[in-house]
Structure 1
């Protein structure tokens, strides 16, 4: 999965866990992250406040009477080829406060070439005209499994056995396999209930949309040469859609 999407999902999951348990937040940054900073709208005296790590940020939100926190991300993008670049996930952290106040945080990632790590700054924005009812996200396992099967078959026909294997592995996780790839990569898994973690890890494994060497790279050209361009486009769009729906369900609906 895109590292930026992985981080925002993990932060929201950790905050939701802490809020439900009325405990401190527990978030372990990945090795490639410096501590994230959060530029918040208000602090003491109504002045802007900067939290210098996830724990400070969460404690500040509690002081602002946080009642819920959710992940938001679009289920389609205009150009999937851009997803291999930084700051293109279009994901945000949505915060709900007492008094029907809502805000959202958007991240900006910048690479620190000296430390060889990423600096991440989340900036809070007011949501002045929020929806009257926040959407609910259903378990999309059936639709997710279906597109994984179809795009695995397409990958075989295009001659990309590596991608076919990735889609197979994602389906295995979705069907109950517990060999989670993110754990093997040394990442701390989001603190989700088991059924939700399974969907999250399947989505993480199936996320093949990046830059050079990704599903966005050679496969579309092979599909064009074989007259399968439309099938490639349709299944790729549907895969991204089900990945994003899977994340929204896994992170928000527990």
Structure 2
């Protein structure tokens, strides 16, 4: 799974767990992350306007709790204009949507900045008010798409074998097994989720083959074109991406 998306998923899952258990948040940054900063919207105080900045996820969570945070959701588009851009940083919108007890709704967007001298990433989350045009009347919800996800994984596995992309076919096969709980090998992408949700998250992580060089965006489209299967490649890839994203949204949000 894309590292940017995985970080947002991990923040949402860790926050939901802490809220449900009424405990402090537990969050361990990845080794490639240097700092994670959260810049809040300016808040009026008796001294004037003040913008709070949290220097890590724990400080961010504590501040959100003080403000009455009661729930959090991940939102991200299920379709993209160009899958070829997914191998670059800051290419896809991912929102941390915060719901407060007073009905207030805000969201955070992230910007990733690579520090070449340290070979690490600085990530800055910036808060925005949800007022365009109005806050959502109801919290977004997502359905369990396991059956549809497994179906497209099986279809694209067969297609990958037809165009002689057996290594990708094996990944799609493994993802389908993970979605149904038949493949449970641990991955480096740790996240605090219930077992049912973890199955889908694991499957989505395995199935995320969209990136830059050596990805499903690289050689496979040309190999499909050589066999006059370019349209099938595009249709299957588009549906895989959609179902993969829906699986991620359900896994992270619905528990």
Q: Give unpaired runs (5+ residues) of structure 1.
A: none
Alignment correspondent of 1:140: 145
List 4+ stretches of structure 1 deviating above 6 A: none
Determine if the alignment matches structure 1 residue 155 to structure 2 residue 156.
no
Partner of 2:175: 170
TM-score (norm 2): 0.95
Partner of 1:94: 97
Residue-by-residue CA offset, 1:186-244 (whole Å, 9 max, x unaligned): x4x11100010110010000000000110001111111111111111111011010111
Distance in structure 1 (CA, Å) of the matches to 2:9 and 2:91: 15
The DSSP-based 3-state class of the residue aligned with 2:35 is coil
Query: Which of 44, 53, 57 is the equivalent residue of 1:50?
Result: 53
Matching of residue 82 in structure 1 with residue 85 in structure 2: yes
2-structure distance, mates of 1:247, 1:73: 10
Look up the match of 1:130.
135
Aligned twin of 2:9: 9
The answer to whether residue 79 in structure 2 is matched with residue 115 in structure 1 is no
Quote the residue 1:215 is aligned against.
216
RMSD (Å), alpha carbons: 1.2
Distance 1:42 1:247 in 2: 32
Q: Secondary structure at 2:33's aligned position in 1?
A: coil
Q: What SS does structure 2 have at the residue aligned with 1:35? A: strand
Is residue 2:201 matched to residue 1:200? yes
Cα distance in 1 for partners of 2:169, 2:220 equals: 11
| Alpha-carbon distance in 1 for matches of 2:91, 2:147 | 28
* Distance (Å, rounded) in 2 between the aligned partners of 1:130 and 1:190: 29
Instruction: Return 5+ residue gaps in structure 2 as ranges.
Output: none
> Are the counterparts in 1 of residues 174 and 183 from structure 2 also a CA contact under 8 Å?
no
Name the CA distance, whole Å, in 2 between partners of 1:223 and 1:138.
Answer: 32
User: Which position in structure 2 is the counterpart of 1:20?
Assistant: 20
Question: Using the alignment, how far apart are the partners of 1:91 and 1:157 within structure 2?
Answer: 34
Residues 181 and 205 in structure 1, CA contact (< 8 A), matched pair in contact too: no
Moved more, 110-119 or 139-148: 110-119
- The answer to which structure has the higher strand fraction is 2
Write the distance in 2 (CA, Å) between the matches of 1:182 and 1:41.
Answer: 36
Hey, what does 2:250 align to over in structure 1? 249
Residue 73 of structure 2 is aligned to residue 70 of structure 1:
yes
Residue 64 of structure 1, CA deviation? 0.9
Offset at 1:43?
A: 5.2
Aligned equivalent of 2:38: 38
